[in-house]
Amino acid sequence: MLSALAVDPEQGLDGEEAARRRASVGPNALKAAGGVDPAAIFLGQFRDFMVLVLLAATFISGLLGEFVDAVAILTILLLNAFLGFVQEYRAERALEALGKMAAPKAEVVRDGRRALVPAEDVVPGDVVVLKAGDRVPADVRLLWTEGLLVDEAPLTGESVPVEKRAPAVLPAPRPLGDRTNMAFMGTLILKGRATGVAVATGMATEMGKIADLIALTEETDTPLKRRIRHLGRVLVWIAVALTAAVTGLGVLDGYPFEEMFLLGVTLAVAAIPEGLPTIVTVVLALGVSRMQKKKALVRRLPAVETLGSTTFIGTDKTGTLTLNRMTLVQGRTAGGAFFVSGSGYRPEGGFFLDPERTAPFDPEERPEVMALLTYGVLASEARLLPPETGDRTEGPKRPAGRFRWLGLRRKAREAAPSGWRIDGDPTEGAIVVAARKAGLDEEALRRRKRAKVLPFDSVRRRMSIVYEVGGGRGVLAAKGAFEAILDRSAAIFDGGAVRRLGDAERRRWAEEAEAMAAAGLRVLAVAYREGPLERLRGLEDEAELVFVGLVGLIDPPRPDVPAAIRTVQAAHIRVAMITGDHRETARAIAADLGILRPTGRVLTGEDLRRLDGKALSRLAVETDVFARVAPEDKLRIVQALRAAGHIVAMTGDGTNDAPALKAADIGIAMGQSGTEVAKEAADVVLLDDHFATIEAAVEEGRTIYENVRKFVRYLLASNVAEIMVMLVAFALKWPVPLTPLMILWINLVTDGLPALALGLDPMERDVMNRPPISPSESLFARGLGWKILSRGALITGVTLWAFSERLAAGAPLGEAQTVAFATLIVAQLVHVFDARNERSLFDRSPLDNVPLVLSVLVSFALVVLVIAWPPAARIFGAVPLSAEDWLRVIGYSAAPFVLLGLFGRLSSGRPARPEA
């Protein structure tokens, strides 16, 4: 490797060679693949089929002299394009956020001397020096390490830091989390020191590959967009059919072709509800506002509706299902097992004898428990830091039993606010937090002078620290892998005394450790040795240790996650865990959360890489846990699930999740623990990081989709009625029932406030008990198309009946037109309540949606104003109506829908059920 990169590890590169390489490979920076062209993004908003249809309608309206319609439609299209442009442009900032993770400075060896250079000047072949607190500037092959511990969670998703060692030669290919001889760009050095040679920089690094995945991953088409596009195609065919029908009928009756064609085009344009995109946008925007109150920030408007169609949630484990804070939850000593409550780094919790945590005990009454925690802290270097705000009030201190000679004191337990954090290894931090819960003061424990440190490495698999305790004596505290500690132990600490450790007891301890590991715990053993300080200081390898016991640590689930998962599953949505953790750890956590079904599969990244696309699509839908996965694996999982027909929601918080978040139908990032990269790539950001918020989002999404169907039903049925009134009257050679201005006013009154208020309909009680909306379902599914045609025909019938009845009674044409005008509008306003329900007008109380009631009253008042106010009546060609005429209008309009409602209620076999 060194020869291939032409570098001497002692001298490093010379300045001229580094400059040549930088000119050749470019700066060590992450950038987008290609550029972001704002003009192209804006123009791209006009590629949608429905938008193209409305552009055509604008053009035709202009040709026909309908400039008011043309300007209104064009304004709507520009508003929608602007909203889409803003959201898409913001999404492209994901790569910019990714670039911010690169280290600003790097220490390298140049010309035989160490130098601090900008991170973007690091080139392949540079010898890089790393120490605790550094962010790795490039992908580095390690040459020398000393106790190096690296936090790779942003890259791999694992909550446990990775110990790195230089000499290892590993077979390829290896998952990122198993490449222990490498340090990767953007990861953080928690502990130790190292030197290595940069083998990849910029976009060639593993972080750069993620950047490429984000840049090259196409945005998914949402179900709402697909359904609106389908609606647009249907409307185009209707428009073409209307134009042909009117033109053909007119020509057959002897009318000029040009006149009939223009009339047909006019009716065709009227068939397209130009207000539909605006209503959809407004309803989604209001849904976004409601979701933000529920702690979910929606970055793209269609995302709310897409959640309602979700059939599969692929959730990251670390930080999403769990707290991303290692916690000591269990311990075992010679006196038996004990369990610890509390989670995260807050030093609050109790000690219990049973896993159900119903039998508390005072740990100070159990010397072996105090010894386990004491020596665990002494063998650690992590520090528990208080919240940046809030006071820490300590109570009186008192001696603590047989450990008084260590300077150990009891510390008062405190009710601390949130925000506690760990400085150092999170695993060591978990031991320190547990010690605090027992009332121990780690600062006092470590006040003694250190005499020697034997650091942890992957060969020794343990760490020891020797302390001076006075009088020429010392104590060695050790912790590490169970086998590494037990093999070097000759005795065991039992109830305040030390006794010999026999072979049978060793086997029993091995079984205990395996049982804890199988439960998904990370198991560490703790031991100590007392003796002359010089002898302990001279030890190069631990021996003759006194075994104290085992501690079991876990990144605990968030408390509200199990209930949220059950609710989501009850809504017929599959949930799978996708994590970088090992198979057995992932299996245990998934089973504990209720994700892993008895028949569910567990697949690893290696399993995935052996499967082709078709096989993966087949197995992915049967899999509940994906373990030990790399970023490209997560992306393949999302793609496989989508290929199998699922609407996929992907949750995550790490940089490694960003490509999958972008590729999913709906990407959900964690707002508190998530990286900026994940947030920018996502459609929804959970402000409280609670998986339970997804439940509320799905609920909101399903409600919005049903409301979209309601106002599509209402708008199209109204438009069908307006067209059919004119078309039927023309075919029957009747006088024209409505003037052009009347038709314009009808569209204004009925397509505005009532349709918008219908989109605000509250959630129905059983919305989360229904199956997800099928991805292939059109807006006209479940009988919606029939309802549109039947209600449109019904409104047409009552309008023409009222018109013909007035003509037959000898009324003037103006009066008959006014009655038809009023009947058509009132029938549509009654229909808006019918459109709220699948079965019956009486299934829900009108007062469930007060804005809808108010909008109908306002619309009715506008109709009365146009007819009763003489100046307006002259403009619209209307005449005043008598009270008898108004009663006739209301009776004609309401009777059919009342009869339909009664029939629907009787046929459903259940009483009306007002919704909350």
How many angstroms separate the Cα of 804 from the Cα of each of 105, 748, 791, 817, 879?
Answer: 85, 25, 20, 10, 17
- Non-local (6+) Cβ contacts of 477 within 8 A are 375, 376, 378, 379, 464, 465, 467, 526, 527, 528
How does DSSP classify residue 841?
T
Residue 837, Cβ density class (10 Å: 0-12 exposed, 13-18 middle, ≥19 buried): buried
Nearest to 140 by CA among 52, 256, 28, 232: 28
DSSP alpha helices (H): ranges in 64-202?
67-91, 94-99, 153-156
Nearest to 267 by CA among 747, 636, 909, 705: 747
Nearest to 140 by CA among 184, 192, 204: 184
The residue annotated as part of the active site, out of 316, 425, 657, 834, is 316
The half-sphere exposure of 37 on its side-chain side, counting CA atoms within 13 A, is 5
Strand pairing of 139-151 and 182-183?
antiparallel
Q: Are 728 and 328 in contact (CB under 8 A)?
A: no
Detail the DSSP E strand segments found in 472-571: 473-480, 489-494, 497-500, 522-532, 545-554
If residue 171 lies in a helix (H) or strand (E), which one and from where to where? none
- What is residue 673's three-state secondary structure? coil
Q: Hey, what amino acid is at 297? A: L
- What is residue 310's three-state secondary structure? coil
Distance CA 914, CA 371 (A): 63
Task: Tell me the backbone φ, ψ of residue 470, rounded to 5 degrees.
Answer: 100, 155
If residue 840 lies in a helix (H) or strand (E), which one and from where to where? none
- Non-local (6+) Cβ contacts of 718 within 8 A are 746, 750, 751, 792, 795, 828, 831
Query: How many helices (DSSP H) and strands (DSSP E) are in the chain?
Result: 32, 28
Count Cβ atoms below 10 Å from residue 495 Cβ, excluding itself: 11
Strand pairing of 522-532 and 545-554?
antiparallel
Locate 70 and state its tokens: 């043309």
Locate 180 and state its tokens: 């222990």
Identify whether 316 is a catalytic site residue. yes
Would you please indicate which residues are annotated as catalytic (active-site) residues? 316
